[in-house]
Amino acid sequence: MSAPENDSSRVIVKGASLLGDKSADLLIVGGVIREIGSIDARDTAHGSATVIDADGLVALPGLVDLHTHLREPGREDAETIRTGSMAAAVGGYTAVLAMANTSPVTDTAENAERVFDLGRAAGLVDVHPVGAVTRGLAGEELAELGLMNRSRARVKVFSDDGKCVGDPRVMRRALEYVKAFGGVISQHSQDASLAGASACCHEGELSGQLGLPGWPGVAEEIIVARDVMLARHTGSRVHVAHVSTAGSVEVLRWAKAQAAKDGHWSVTAEVTPHHLLLTTDLLSGYDPTYKVNPPLRPVEDVEALRAALADGTIDAVATDHAPHARHDKEHAFVDAAFGMLGLETALAVVNTVMRGNDLLDWAGIASVMSANPARIAGLDDQGQGIAVGAPANLTLIDPDASVTVDRDASVSLSRNNPWHGRTLTGAVHATLLRGVATVVEGQLA
């Protein structure tokens, strides 16, 4: 991505607390941080600069989401790339990775470039398409992995998300293929035979009481275990999407130790905000808002996920933002679509859960919501931190703001918001994409 056309544009961010630590001013010129310190906006050299008063605000590097569903092409009634970009900017994001399960599927270079171009046209966040692993998400024949990587979209992350790459031979070939260009396979870990075709919630005592088909945690854990062994065998990179169980955390902990020892392969993982806070108990009212894949888990799993994010076993927070039109969600629980919104609330949830319980500080939140996801996705101009010479991708946060979520205030086209009515701590005040404000005082610029 290039800097803004007007390379002489100047922005001064006054008095922000950098990563929650000491306060400083930032001078941004042409989309790049040029100076950090005490900067006098009255100086004639800076007289034409736009000044953003950030007193009392925390500055983080712009957030990066590894796992977003933007629904375009195919389901523009639920979300478009523009409205999803709007939701991302309001949530403090400067880059998102758009999942491939659209219609048509992002399984060709042409389709990847279409998503990429629509993202650039929206211009609010960097939209990077995720390529499908297999043609049509059918799990049989590899998609155009190399062509997508060589396209203008420069695809590096591939996933059949929504479906698991169940055939180990196909998964092995995909892992071998992406090695050539440093790509990574992001797996939706769900053994189809163990979970069952009709599974719609966590398998346990409550699913039995409710009469709902459940899928057990082991259906996730067995795929995580298989895939880390395949990554080790092929010397490649695997990323575990939306980890949801304590058992998966244990497999990851072992795998990361082995990968560090072996040195020729790697495994990374993400957790969603909703799996860090919401539990299976919410299903007792049969509210389809809480139907998500993988399902919400018991409190023991939630606690294990929080601990794993804090100690680095899980690398990143990813939203799995999954907008749905009302007519897809307002059904009996077993028939409703999977998924919930997440882009606009992710930072507040992570702040409330992780910082509020002294599990992460602001620097830690910057790692799991910016630097690590950018590294996993291979984004050179995102997640670089707040430093002289870095692109001015920034999120300014009011750290102590108490916000009660109103789903009707969302800029997303959909309303399947699990946080409606909940009070969370922390609010995005402003978002800057290469020095250009996309959000000011919590509203789109």
**Nearest CA-CA partner of 392 in 406, 381, 405, 379:** 381
Question: What is the per-residue pLDDT for 8?
Answer: 61
How far apart, in whole angstroms, are the C-alpha atoms of residue 392 and residue 406? 30
Beta pairing, strands 394-404 & 316-317: unpaired
Backbone angles phi, psi at 35, to 5 degrees: -155, 145
Average pLDDT over residues 238-251: 98
Determine if residue 101 is labeled as part of a ligand binding site. Answer: yes
157-173 pLDDT tens trace: 999 999 999 999 999 99
Beta pairing, strands 436-440 & 443-444: antiparallel
Pair 78, 328: CB distance under 8 Å: yes
Kindly state the DSSP code that residue 132 receives in the 8-state scheme: P
Backbone angles phi, psi at 238, to 5 degrees: -125, 140
380-403 pLDDT tens trace: 999 999 999 999 999 999 999 999
Beta pairing, strands 50-53 & 32-37: unpaired
Beta pairing, strands 93-98 & 237-240: unpaired
Torsion from C-alpha of 257, 63, 36, 430, nearest 10 degrees: -160
Write the single-letter amino acid at 52.
I
Kindly state the DSSP code that residue 370 receives in the 8-state scheme: I
Question: What is the per-residue pLDDT for 259?
Answer: 98
The 3-state secondary structure of 184-215, one letter per residue:
EEEECCCCHHHHCCCCCEECCHHHHHHCCCEE
5, pLDDT greater than 70: no
428, pLDDT greater than 50: yes
> Which 3 state secondary structure label does DSSP give 375?
helix
Backbone angles phi, psi at 381, to 5 degrees: -105, 20
Cβ neighbors of 210 (< 8 A, separation 6 or more) are 201, 283, 284, 286
204-241 pLDDT tens trace: 999 999 999 999 999 999 999 999 999 999 999 999 99
Query: 329: which 2 tokens?
Result: 């969600």
Q: Is 320 a catalytic residue?
A: yes
Question: What is the per-residue pLDDT for 403?
Answer: 95
Kindly state the DSSP code that residue 444 receives in the 8-state scheme: E
95, pLDDT greater than 60: yes
Percent with pLDDT over 90 in the chain: 96
6, pLDDT greater than 60: no
Burial label, 141 (beta-carbon count in 10 A; 0-12, 13-18, 19+): exposed
How far apart, in whole angstroms, are the C-alpha atoms of residue 289 and residue 196? 21
Determine if residue 71 is labeled as part of a ligand binding site. Answer: yes
Question: What is the per-residue pLDDT for 44?
Answer: 75
322, pLDDT greater than 90: yes
Based on DSSP, count helices (H) and strands (E) in the chain, helices before strands.
14, 19
270-316 pLDDT tens trace: 999 999 999 999 999 999 999 999 999 999 999 999 999 999 999 99
Question: What is the per-residue pLDDT for 226?
Answer: 98
Q: Please report which residue ranges of 20-93 form alpha helices under DSSP H.
A: 81-90
22-76 pLDDT tens trace: 999 999 999 999 999 999 888 777 778 999 999 999 999 999 999 999 999 999 9
Place of tokens 């299903």: 283
345, pLDDT greater than 80: yes
17, pLDDT greater than 60: yes
Pair 267, 236: CB distance under 8 Å: no
Cβ neighbors of 389 (< 8 A, separation 6 or more) are 32, 33
How far apart, in whole angstroms, are the C-alpha atoms of residue 129 and residue 112? 6
Write the single-letter amino acid at 239.
H
Q: Binning pLDDT at 50, 70 and 90, where does residue 1 land? A: very low
Determine if residue 149 is labeled as part of a ligand binding site. Answer: no
Q: What is the pTM of this model?
A: 0.97
Query: Which residue pairs, CB below 8 angstroms and at least 24 apart, start in 208-214?
Result: 210/283, 210/284, 210/286, 212/283, 212/333, 212/334, 213/334, 214/295
Q: Binning pLDDT at 50, 70 and 90, where does residue 326 land? A: very high
118-150 pLDDT tens trace: 999 999 999 999 999 999 999 999 999 999 999
Kindly name the residue from 65, 126, 320, 398 that is annotated as catalytic.
320
Determine if residue 339 is labeled as part of a ligand binding site. Answer: yes
How far apart, in whole angstroms, are the C-alpha atoms of residue 278 and residue 287? 13
Place of tokens 């969302």: 410
Determine if residue 67 is labeled as part of a ligand binding site. Answer: yes
Pair 141, 135: CB distance under 8 Å: yes
The full set of domains in the chain, from first to last, is: 62-377 (3.20.20.140)
4, pLDDT greater than 50: no
